Amino acid sequence: MKKLFMPFTLLSALMLTVPANAGMASWYGPGFHGKRTASGAIYNMYAMTAAHKSLPFGSKVKVTNLNNNKSVVVKINDRGPFKPGRIIDLSKKANQMINCNLCKVDVEVLSKGDGKYRKR
């Protein structure tokens, strides 16, 4: 029984330290500023927004930089990132708030949007 308990305890501890929605975050800015996003909104690199591959547009997520525990809440209004291993692209402003550039983050869904295309 003791032999089974130790590996299970160790595995449980590891599961608690690695968030389920962890991955790499990057950011995008000047080259896209003022252009239309996949949702139809105009991209503003100074707004608290992000791109995600599958969450519905309008979803709000909390992104935590796992290196410094700084967090930011952003609204999903675009699709991406399109580089392997990355799970979210932050706006320039959101990136600056958590000192990320390219960092490991946890993404927590706070609310799911309706996913509708919005022309703004």
Q: For the chain, how long is the longest CA-to-CA vector?
A: 62
118 within domain boundaries: no
Return the amino acid letter for 89: D
30 within domain boundaries: yes
* Structural domain count, the chain: 1
CATH code, 64: 2.40.40.10
CA nearest to 71, candidates 55, 54, 52, 88: 88
pLDDT in tens, 32-80: 999 999 999 999 999 999 999 999 999 999 999 999 999 999 999 999 9
Average pLDDT score, the chain: 88
Banded pLDDT at 13 (limits 50, 70, 90): very low
Stretch 15-30: mean pLDDT = 79
What per-residue confidence (pLDDT) applies to 2?
55
Enclosing domain of residue 82 = 19-111
